[in-house]
């Protein structure tokens, strides 16, 4: 409950910022929203399900490419259908990848997802029809002019991205409160016991991977609309690492933590990089401090400071 209130306060702050922001702020907010969605989807998998993936960016990038491809002249779908196609298409691919990857655990799972991710990266890097390493540009945004919203306006787009992130939070919070969410936590805590109790462990793990991938693909479709320009770098494992840092920095298995992590990382990256070229080192130091605090990320720190914290 505390965490939902924290999320409410955080999203309220982001919307408040949006009401004051100008172009630069809108760009930051849209980026925060995209990474918040992506990081929340990774938290579902890694923080709750215990499956730490280094291939998550590949699903994110796949969603971005699927959206761009489906919406381009090559296929010619309308933007809403392209968004759905990107999310569920990524989900289907994730189910296929997950069916293999979830057979192993721990470090092996990290390696197998890294392997799949780099395969995806290489595919788009080499595929000339999809722009190769130059990527794709001129990507269309969703047209909401029918209801009086012009998404080509940076402010409107940032607002739509923030609303999407808030809706994803609500969706994931709901799913975590269902029997499926309970299974996800149980799979992390004690998969062998769940197996002995009759649960088809691999099926559920693959389903969690697919669901998480669907949300990551959705994040990719928003990212493609935001920058209107995508490259294979989106799929690279370094992007996965960055998203993992957001989740850990904010707090694994807290759902609001990844949103906090996305805000902090995007802000630090932009603010510090305008001051010093060594911003990565400062960010690294910050991450080390948070981890050394032995709390569950920034959310863990906040909960420790709040009276009446649970658990």
Partner 1 sequence: MLEAVGLCKRFGALDATHNVSLRLEAGARHAIIGPNGAGKTTLFNLLAGEIRPDSGRILLDGREVTRASPDARARAGLGRSFQRNNLFESETVALNLALADIARRGTGWQVWRRLASDRAARARAEAVAAQVGLGDDLASPVASLSYGARRQLEVALALMGEPKVLLLDEPTAGMSPEETGRMLGLIDSLPAGLAVLIVEHDMDLVFAHAHRITVLNYGEVLFEGTPDEVRASALVQDTYLGEDAEAC
3-state helix, strand, coil in the chain (%, to 5): 80, 0, 20
Kindly tell me which of 137 and 195 has the beta carbon lying closer to partner 1.
Answer: 195
Q: Which is nearer to partner 1, 182 or 288 (CB)?
A: 182
- Cβ proximity to partner 1: between 202 and 282 the closer is 202
**Which two structure tokens, joined as six digits, stand for 47?**
């923080």
Closest to partner 1 by CB, 61 vs 253, is 253
Is residue 163 within 8 A of residue 11, CB to CB? The reply is no
The residue (of 146 and 179) whose beta carbon lies closer to partner 1 is: 179
Asked if 65 contacts 223 with a C-beta cutoff of 8 angstroms, the reply is no
| Nearest approach, Cβ of residue 178 and partner 1 (Å) | 5
Token pair of 17, please? 């910022």
How far apart are alpha carbons 34 and 294 in whole angstroms? Answer: 28
- Minimum distance between the CB of residue 186 and partner 1, rounded to whole angstroms? 5
Beta carbons of 172 and 40 less than 8 angstroms apart? yes
* Residue bearing tokens 């919203």: 149
Q: Is the dihedral of CA 235, 238, 241, 242 positive or negative?
A: negative
What is the smallest separation between the CB atom of 103 and partner 1, expressed in angstroms?
A: 13
* Residue 196 or 289 with smaller CB distance to partner 1: 196
CB of 193 to partner 1, least distance (A): 5
What residues make contact with partner 1 under the rule CB under 8 A? 174-175, 177-183, 185-186, 189-190, 192-201, 204, 207, 311
- Rounded to an integer, what distance in angstroms lies between the CA atom of residue 82 and that of residue 67? 5
- What is the nearest approach in angstroms of partner 1 to the Cβ of residue 303? 15
Provide the CB-side half-sphere exposure for 29 (13 A, CA): 29
Give the list of residues 6+ apart from residue 145 with CB closer than 8 angstroms, or none.
none
- The gap from C-alpha 43 to its chain's centroid, in whole angstroms, comes to 8
Residue nearer to partner 1 on the CB measure, 124 or 211:
211
The gap between the terminal CA atoms of the chain, to the nearest Å, is 12
């Amino acid at each position: 409950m505390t965490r939902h209130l924290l999320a409410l306060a955080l999203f309220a702050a982001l919307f408040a910022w949006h009401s004051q922001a100008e172009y630069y702020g809108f760009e930051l907010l849209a980026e925060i929203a995209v990474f918040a969605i992506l990081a929340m989807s990774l938290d579902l998998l890694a923080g709750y399900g215990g499956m730490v993936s280094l291939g998550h960016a590949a699903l994110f990038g796949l969603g971005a490419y699927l959206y761009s491809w489906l919406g381009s002249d090559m296929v010619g779908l309308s933007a809403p259908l392209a968004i759905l196609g990107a999310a569920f298409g990524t989900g289907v691919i994730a189910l296929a990848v997950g069916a293999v990857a979830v057979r192993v655990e721990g470090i092996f799972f990290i390696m197998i997802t890294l392997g799949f991710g780099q395969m995806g990266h290489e595919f788009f890097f080499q595929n000339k029809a999809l722009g190769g390493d130059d990527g794709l540009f001129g990507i269309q945004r969703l047209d909401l002019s029918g209801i009086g919203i012009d998404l080509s306006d940076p402010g409107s787009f940032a607002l739509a991205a923030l609303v999407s992130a808030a809706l994803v939070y609500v969706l994931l919070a709901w799913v975590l409160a269902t029997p499926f969410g309970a299974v996800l936590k149980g799979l992390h805590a004690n998969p062998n016991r769940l197996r002995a109790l009759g649960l088809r462990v691999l099926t559920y793990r693959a389903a969690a991977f697919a669901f998480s991938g669907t949300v990551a693909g959705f994040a990719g479709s928003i990212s493609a609309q935001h920058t209107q320009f995508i490259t294979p770098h989106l799929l690279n494992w370094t992007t996965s690492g960055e998203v993992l840092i957001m989740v850990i920095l904010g707090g694994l298995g807290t759902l609001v933590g990844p949103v906090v992590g996305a805000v902090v990382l995007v802000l630090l990256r932009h603010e510090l990089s305008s001051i010093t070229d060594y911003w990565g080192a400062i960010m690294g130091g910050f991450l080390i401090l948070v981890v050394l605090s032995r709390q569950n990320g920034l959310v863990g720190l906040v909960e420790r400071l709040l009276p009446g914290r649970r658990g």
